[in-house]
Structure 1
Amino acid sequence: MQPAMRNRWYSGFLTLLLLCFTVPAFAQPTAPQASAPGSLPVLADGASLDELNDQLDLIRQRVTGSANDDVLSTLRQAALQVQKQADDLATARGVSIEHLNDQLKVIGPPQPDEAASLSAQRQTLTSQSNALAADERQLTTLSQSARDLATQIVNLRRSQFNSQISARSTSPLSPSFWSSLIRPTDDDLRRLTSLGQDVENASEAVLAPGARGYFIGALVLAVVIWVGGRRLLERLLAWSMIRFLPEGRLRRSALALAVGLATLLTISGATTVLRWGVTYNTELSANVLNLIDQLTTLVIFCAFIVGLGRALLMLRRPSWRLAEIPDEIATALGPFPKILALALMIIGTQERINSVIASSLALTVAVNGLTALAVCVISLWALVRYHRTRHQFELERLTGVAALVPFVLGMWILVILLSLISGYLTLAYFLTVKLLWMSVVATTAYLLTACFGDLCETLLSPKEPGGRALASALSLSPRHQAQAATLLAGVGRTLLLFTALLIAFMPSGSSPSEILQGLTLLDLGNKPLGGLKVVPGDILLAIGFLIGGLFGIRVLKGWLSERLLPETNMDAGMRASLVTLVGYLGYVLLAIVVMSTLSISLTNLTWVVSALSVGIGFGLQAIVQNFISGLILLTERPVKVGDWVSLAGVEGDIRRINVRATEIQMSDRSTVIVPNSQFITQNVRNVTMGNALGVVGVSLTLPLDTDVLKIRELLLTAFAEHEAILDTPAPSVSFKDLTANGLIISASGYVNSPRSVSGARSDLLFTILGRLREMGVALSAPQSMMLISQGQGAGAVIPDPV
């Protein structure tokens, strides 16, 4: 047992030493590599029909239930490649057939007295067309077979994943879990010993006299790049930001992004130099090269974590920190990205070794559980440190989406811990990998969206020097320039967020290119409703699309109403109508997407439409009428949000136009719900449609002996002194009539809105009546009436009641 233990520790030490030799995936080794399991012959771009058939048969032979997920992923990519080339060949055959048919049309149908050469040419062209048509049919069948095979591989991968997730093993609380790590099986020890021997041979070859100098020089240069190069590059980038970028958010976001890239680039450069020093005039075994390739992804991922942590926290330049994180919390969380990267490097190395040697299932599951446990402990430690720092310095809680991050992270860690304790190690490992991957993607998306938005704002906004210079060069108006900046920033951020969501939620073992290639091959054809098969995964996906779509529509409507449309010259009513129409369109598209996810075709809903037509004829007629009327109001816009209307005794401001009814706010702040059809079928008085000004009128009945010139001067002075009365158009006073009751004089003035008429008229009446009293002028009283009753004497007077 002692030699086996010695070999195990020796192989582990040499493997950790080999970790220093890992490089990015684009560094090609000089030694030839052995073909990986599941690899296939490279298919040329112009492969023939027979070659495509042979490739597809080879793929079918490699697809087995014992193949791991990586092999199945490679085989699926190969099947999709066969499908693509078959489709391209079928398209080319179709073009050739059309060309031959055109030639046959030029020759025309057979004639009794035609030349023999013409008949021979027609026969040749017909034979070629028939052969190409047969090839086209075979290629179409081959393409469908390749597509079906890719679908079967996806289902096989899904079933394998479900079986692994649901498998239960020993918990980390059990001694058997740790015994699997400390005391591997004899088969695992034998494979570890073999790998250790390969690593030892690689080390001897690297340190041989012919290659030792190159390795030592490469090692020194790598250390210089890793340590000094990063600092020098960061200082150079900081100086460049201050020197060339204007002061503002762009400088901060660009520096944060540059810090992360500098960390990643220097580590990649150092490992590239090391790889050159190791592989120069040195032949490595297939296992060693495979281990290097496995560790490459781990090194880059850990470097990415450290770079993102430094870019997000910005401990050396707190004033340039992009996120609104207090200095105390940033300092408390500063060491955790490095701690997490170091833990992943140590435990992840053993994972890669297990992958290379094809270790037993017990050892693989135990190492995966150890990885999940380590990440959980580090994440929980960071959460406790965050809450303790916030309470110690009495810091306020984060606002917005950032406030949900600690809660979501805590709940996620709780689920992982429960899975570990209950023995579902594969499920815990899957959740841990998803947590790390989604955290990296979310942080990267935050930095990219912030930098892109700040770049658009700096280059295009009329408030920035760069935007003003661009406007001067291109003769752009500030309004159009602001619209372009807002629109470009919104579209760019949307595309970045969509890409981030696509990458964050992609299936395990898949790549972004595989997801995009699969989206282009989706079959959205019509399927009969009777043959509809809805699986739980489709239901969950449809629910996810529904929730995400509703949230996206809400964000889009908010962005339109608060960011883009205020930059235009549209009035408030037009903006509200446009936002409502966009919302309706978004809901319709979302419904189509959800039904397509559930494989529900619109043509299969004819029976639903038929059933609804009966109900529309009876109970739903009014609802449909109001809905159509609402669409007419939003498009034709006889009334819009903000108008003051009057109809059927209801008078007030339109606050909102909904699908079925319109909300009108009365003068007493109450709201009246009016069906939309009334605006179409009844007479509507729109006070603010053609005239935004209000008229304040005052009529006075004065005695016949009143000095009308003084009254005219009094009225003009009162109107001019009131703050709500506009100077243009100017107030006016007119002599309306001369009656037996007295003189009728009318005065009018304009206010900025009909809604201000009532208050302004009340103030003016108070002022005018007060000044008339001061002048000793009384309003004309109604005349008394003389009524002579037959039962009374002449001269009896009955006063007319006032």
Structure 2
Amino acid sequence: MQILARILVRVFLALTLAAGLSAPMALPLAAATENAGPDYRAWETVAKRAESAVADARASDAAFKELRDEIVNWRTQFTAAQDANKERIQTLRGQIAALGDPPEEGQTEAREIAQRRTALTKQLAQLEAPGLAAVEAFSRADGIIREIDRILRERQADQLLRLSPTPANPANWPGALKRVNAAGQQIMDEILRNAARDTARSDLKTNAPAIVGFLALALVLMARGRRWIERLSSRLSRLFALRGQRAVGTLVSLGQIALPLAGLTLLVSALRETGLFGTQGEALLGHLPLAGLFLFAAIWLGGRVFPRAEMDEPPLGLWPDRRAEGRFLVSMMGLVLALLTLVQTAIVPLPGVSRGVANLWGEARQVVMDQATEAAAAVIELPLVVVGGLLLFRFGLLLRRRPRGPEGEEQPFRDRLAGLVGTGTLIVAILGPLLAVIGYVAAANALIWPTMLSLGVIGLVFVVLNFVNNLYAFVMRLEGDEDSLAPVLIGFALSLAAVPVLALIWGARPDDLAEVWTRFQNGFDLGGVRLSPTALLTFGVVFTLGYGLTRLMQGALKSSVLPRTKLDTGGRNAVVSGVGYVGIFAAALLAITSAGIDLSSLAIVAGALSVGIGFGLQNIVSNFVSGIILLIERPISQGDWIEVGGQMGIVKDISVRSTRIETFDRTDVIVPNADLVAGQVTNWTRGNVTGRLIVKVGVAYGTDTRKVERILTEIAEAHPLVMVDPPPRVYFMGFGADSLDFEIRVMLSDVNFKLSVNSEMHHQIAERFKAEGIEIPYAQRDVWLRNPEALVSAPQAVAPASPAPSGKPALPDRASIAFNNDPDADGDGDGDGDGDGR
């Protein structure tokens, strides 16, 4: 029996193993994906509940936020499920494409191919079903989230536009005074009640040494901390250069926030150790560090934006006396924000009651409050709103009254931004208190306090940007105020990072920012192509790597491979440029493919845009194509001596759009490539550097022409750059108007020395002609006077001179002077020009 049992167990295990190995092959394809993906039955229940709540729109904000978070989790699952079976789907599509296009209507294909196409199409539909279901569920979840966000935004807007009882009505003032007195009395009652307990007095005696130590250390840090940091910053700054001093000073100055805040935290700890504070007192103590952070940060920020020392570079250009006013205003804003924090903690919200005004961050709070309590809250907050408005008004004027640059000079972007911020601050400073007096206290709070915080964030960005500039200049050892690209990019990144903070300050919910980030991650559609950060990052990385490899290959070809070939310099440059174009095109194509961007859907859009772009960029395209032709045909190469458009020089570089020519006076001429392809170009050194030189010479009439020919031939043959084959030639070109004309025609071994050879031959010709007594004539002209008797006639026969302008001599009326080359200028035929016919 034991042996039989062992055999049965082994058979069972063998069958189980076989079934396990064959199960994936035996099960249908749908079974493989049945358990994958979200639970759509549970989602249906949640979706119906959410749609019902949205349609009713009666749930509280907290309930809507909780429901929204749940829908967001479902949407995340649907996003991940959209890529289910992605690799297998791509494989099946490739298999179907390999079978060729399906037959048209009325045509048939082979039975085996038709069966295979049907089977693959069925499998593809089964694999695409989970992804399509996820896409549909994602769209539904996304719509529900949008509806919830709309409801919450509408409620927030209603709360901000809520009209409270006007605080300007004296009838509301007694209630506000009672509320302030009640808050203070409540804290005092808690202290007295706890002090009357024996356990509290015993704990106070036990903790007395720690309390005293905390209090002493807290007072020292709060009173002396800022001065210690200033001394430390001054000593450390002496060890560095100017840019280093500024960077170190900014970094060390953060201790002016840290040390006083640490002292305030110790003070709060000491007060809590007494055990005398109750619920309301603990709430007040809990918000003291936040209030202190506003105050200490404002004092520090004012000192950095409006520095005392002249050596410090201020983010805003102001006169020293105006900087002192700026430091005062910023410090007062911090004090008002600190007071507002304590007021909203200890006075405004009654126990168990919330109210419908904007809090410090501009976010509306849903409320249940009676008329009297709301009126008291409006009266209590009105003084803070008015003081905040006055501070903002003064600060806005300060920003607008900055020193301006020279007239006609463009204003820097930072100054223009400061002017716009100053104008906006003035508008808020006037509008906020007016709204509060009318009764729109929530709207006033939503304007005044976010404006203050926004000014602080903008100032902080400027301070950090200055710190980055100084640190970069110190690390890179830059001299003076040199500008660099890296700090500009860092400043741009800081500005982008400040946008979400500003959005939160002005009432945006964290869910709104998370929604924006989610949509950014999912990408956006552009002509049917979905572009996501991942795709863009992949494209950038792959293209950068491809571009780098292309440059490395170009460098290797230019320095190692091509110099060992028989290609000339122009051919090497053409090969290197061609490799660069092909490499960049291949890198872009590979990057697009790696990023998963399908450009087929953009073909129609690209075709439509190409017509308009073609008209606008036809010159650029023409020059680009001409540059390719120049690199392929190589009618000119780098180093050639060419003449084009009246300009003559050496080709230094052939780029995609143009060619750079260096003239003989060392100036660069940029010639469009289209002019080199379509125009007439003279290439003096194409193929080789040999070239012909023609020297023209004239001698006086009566000179022995054979002697002149012999002398010129000797001079040409004697020059070392004149080639022997073909030999130099001297030609008697004809009888000129002033001379007998000759030409020396020689072939030079290096045409680049054409001008020097021409000059040297002229020197030798002048020397030989002088030695041989041969005259080089100059141009001669004869001057003939027509009617000379008019100039030499008697004075009485001369007609009265015509009146002449003042200061000029009078001229005879009938006198003319003719300049003529004709010997028979008088026309009498005797050729003497005297007019007597003899």
State TM-score, norm by structure 1: 0.50
Greater relative CO, 1 or 2 (CA 8 Å, sep 6+): 1
State TM-score, norm by structure 2: 0.48
